[in-house]
C-alpha cells in the first residue's frame, strides 16, 4: 500500500463522523468520491502485496501505482458496505477521471509531447477530466448509488480483485493497523 492510499483512508476516517452527523441532521445525502484509475488492472500478483508492502528489491513503480489505485477502490467498496450496514446516509464511490492533460508532467515535457501526439484522441482537458468526479458527487440520478466504480460518467465494472470483499476487509484491517501505529509513534 502506498502513502497515497493510506492517506485516503486516514483523511476519510478523520472526516467520517462529521459527515455522518451532517447527513443525519440535514437529511442530505453525503457523498464520498475517491479517484482511482484503470491502472488498478495492472498490479502485483494477488493485487495487494500484504507481506511485502515495503519490499524495495521487488518494487515496480507501475505495479505499485496499480496497487495504490486498487487499494482506493477496495477502500471505497469496504467503506460503502460498512456505512450501508449502519444505515448512514452516505454513498462512497470511486472514479477513473481519464488521461488528463495537466501540468503534472511538466518536468517530462518532451516525453509528454510524444505521448500526446501518439494518443491525443484519448486525452482530456481539465474540465473533461473533472466531469466524472462531479457527476458522481452531484447528479441526482446517483442518489443512493454506492460501492460503484465510474468511468466517463458511466458505471463501469472494475476488476474481479477490486470487487473482492475479502481482499477489501484484509486491506481495511491493515490500513487500520498502519494508521493506528503511526498515530501512537
- 44, 59, 65, 135: the catalytic one is 59
Mark whether 44 is an active-site residue: no
Task: Identify the sign of the CA torsion 167, 156, 44, 10.
Answer: negative
Record the cell numbers describing residue 169, joined without a space: 476487509
Write the Ramachandran bin of 30: left for phi over 0, alpha for psi from -120 to 50, otherwise beta. Answer: beta
- Cα–Cα distances (Å) from 58 to 64, 147, 174, in that order, read 10, 32, 20
Reference 172, options 83, 58, 40; nearest CA is: 83
| Residue partners of 104: CB distance under 8 A and separation at least 6 | none
- Positions annotated as catalytic residues are 59
Amino acid at each position: 500500500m502506498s502513502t497515497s492510499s493510506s492517506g485516503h483512508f486516514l483523511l476519510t476516517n478523520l472526516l467520517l463522523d462529521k459527515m455522518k452527523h451532517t447527513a443525519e441532521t440535514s437529511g442530505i445525502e453525503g457523498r464520498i468520491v475517491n479517484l482511482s484509475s484503470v491502472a488498478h488492472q495492472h498490479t502485483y500478483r494477488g493485487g495487494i502485496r500484504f507481506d511485502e508492502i515495503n519490499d524495495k528489491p521487488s518494487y515496480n513503480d507501475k505495479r505499485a501505482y496499480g496497487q495504490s489505485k486498487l487499494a482506493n477502490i477496495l477502500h471505497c467498496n469496504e467503506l460503502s458496505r460498512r456505512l450501508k450496514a449502519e444505515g448512514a446516509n452516505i454513498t462512497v464511490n470511486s472514479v477513473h477521471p481519464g488521461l488528463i492533460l495537466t501540468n503534472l508532467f511538466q518536468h517530462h515535457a518532451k516525453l509528454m509531447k510524444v505521448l500526446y501526439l501518439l494518443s491525443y484522441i484519448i486525452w482530456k482537458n481539465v474540465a473533461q477530466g473533472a466531469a466524472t468526479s462531479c457527476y458522481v458527487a452531484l447528479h441526482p440520478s446517483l442518489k443512493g448509488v454506492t460501492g460503484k466504480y465510474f468511468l466517463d460518467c458511466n458505471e463501469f465494472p472494475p476488476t474481479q480483485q477490486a470487487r473482492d470483499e475479502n481482499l477489501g476487509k484484509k486491506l481495511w484491517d491493515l490500513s487500520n493497523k498502519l494508521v493506528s501505529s503511526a498515530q501512537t509513534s
